[in-house]
A and B are shown apart, each in its own frame.
Chain A
């Protein structure tokens, strides 16, 4: 079943400034997979997500991420990147722009027109569309990031503690987004605390300890 794998990491390691962050990661992700990852502070969870997002290049090992490989062309890398979305620790909003502009700028960069459904309405921020991002809370900014992704459902969605800052009402948005990706045969990898990893939407669970990934059988 080689061709259905979206992601394949073989013996992947990452080191920086002489210190090893990740060591010997083997991972295969196929369409429909929702992998939840936990692990103690500093174990390398965020670095693993950045490797999967092609934002860091592994310092050893072999990888295949939506067609991007260590020797792939810039075009193939770009193809892969356009189908990856990452929600990281810190919100990726321009503080000087309004919430609506923050969504629209990305649409314009990708060259897509406005969608039929207003994504800010879906995430419950329609009435605050004209607010500058600098006036809003972390949870609201998270919702704006979700709204951006709703306009371009990725093949591979990477979430780094997406529940952080979200209130009770906002939390179901995470599952909504995951389901949207799975509906289109994509895959999701979510780093989170144990409490969110009991979620039935997850199909696989793993733990990063001392730089290696261990899958927990469910």
Chain B
């Protein structure tokens, strides 16, 4: 297969997944309000000490995005039913293109959720500092990409299993710890005009590792249909 058809397949998968999510929409439209609710509840649990709340705001945002975002990455809509997967296999869909496409669709949704939650966090927590918006955007893009890739990989690992809703987060969250640290600590740095370069390099390294692994392992993983 030529390179162009590979990337055409990737965009085809992104298009399909976003359309299915837009129409079904169950997870995105429920996960986002629930995540916003979590942002409202966290200060009630820690005690409404203004200085503390100011400090934990950015970290809480990313914690919420990672925990609730994983449910978006692992959303039911991203599971094509078995007959549909058979259909796609017979119509020549490359498993690696499927992996990248699903990951990108997940990343777009996670980025959207992050953008939607950011003003809510700012209003509720009033973090101090002079944000470097470009730096924050790049952090958010590389961070959500890492989560999108991880979520898709784990989603394939638990595909068709009876326990997948419980097992998926257990598998996906521990390897997402670098994303949590890089985005939340990086945001702290960006707010105090510090350097985010180290965190950015960490995220890019992790994204690249997951892209390479996922593409290499997509074929063998696709054989394990359950």
Q: A contacts B directly in the complex (CB < 8 Å)?
A: yes
- Could you list which residues of chain A lie within 8 angstroms of chain B, going by C-beta atoms? 53, 55, 57, 74-75, 78, 81-82, 84-86, 88-94, 96-97, 101, 105-106, 108-111, 132
Kindly state the separation between the CA atoms of A6 and B19 in the bound complex, as whole angstroms: 38
Using A75-B1, A94-B80, A106-B91 as known contacts, list a sample of 10 further A-B pairs with CB atoms less than 8 Å apart, ordered by residue number in A.
Answer: A81-B91, A86-B86, A89-B83, A90-B83, A92-B87, A94-B84, A96-B20, A96-B77, A109-B91, A111-B5
Q: In the complex, what residues of B have CB within 8 A of residue A90's CB? A: 81-83
Near A by CB (< 8 A), chain B positions 63-87 give 77, 80-84, 86-87
CA distance in complex: A112, B187 (Å): 46
B98 shortest CB reach to chain A, Å: 11
Q: How many residues of B contact A (CB 8 A)?
A: 27
Contacts of A110 in B (CB 8 A): 91-92
Would you give 29 A-B contacts (Cβ < 8 Å), ordered by A? A53-B86, A53-B90, A55-B86, A57-B223, A74-B219, A78-B1, A78-B92, A81-B92, A82-B90, A84-B90, A85-B90, A86-B87, A88-B83, A90-B82, A94-B80, A94-B84, A96-B20, A96-B24, A96-B77, A97-B20, A101-B19, A105-B16, A106-B87, A106-B91, A109-B91, A109-B93, A110-B91, A110-B92, A111-B8
Q: Does B162 contact A (CB under 8 A)?
A: no
Taken residue by residue from 1 to 16, chain B's Cβ proximity to chain A (1 for < 8 Å, 0 otherwise) reads as: 1000100110010001
Q: Which residues of A contact B91 (CB under 8 A)?
A: 81-82, 106, 109-110
User: What are the residues of chain B within 8 A of A108 when measuring CB–CB?
Assistant: 12
Closest chain-B Cβ to A83's Cβ sits at a distance in Å of 9
Interchain CB contact under 8 A, B83 and A91: yes
Asked if B192 CB lies within 8 Å of chain A CBs, one says: no
* A105 contacts across to B, CB distance below 8 A: 12, 16
Contact of B88 among A75, A89, A109 (CB under 8 A): A109
Choose from B12, B23, B83 the contact partner of A92 (Cβ within 8 Å): B83
Q: Does B89 contact A (CB under 8 A)?
A: yes
In Å, the complex CA distance between A93 and B82 comes to 10
* Docked pose: A86 CA to B88 CA in angstroms: 11
Complex CA gap A153/B24 in Å reads: 32
Do residues B92 and A82 form an inter-chain contact, with CB atoms below 8 A?
yes
Interface residues of B in 92-126 (CB under 8 A from A): 92-93
B-chain residues with CB within 8 Å of residue A88 when the two chains form the complex:
83, 86
CB of A60 to closest CB in B, whole Å: 17
Tell me the complex Cα distance, A96–B22, Å.
Answer: 9
Q: Which residues of A contact B12 (CB under 8 A)?
A: 105, 108-109
B89 to A81, Cβ gap below 8 A?
A: yes
By a CB distance below 8 angstroms, the chain B residues around A57 are 223
Report the bound CA distance from A132 to B86 in whole Å: 21
- Which residues of A are found within 8 Å of B81, using beta-carbon distances? 90, 92
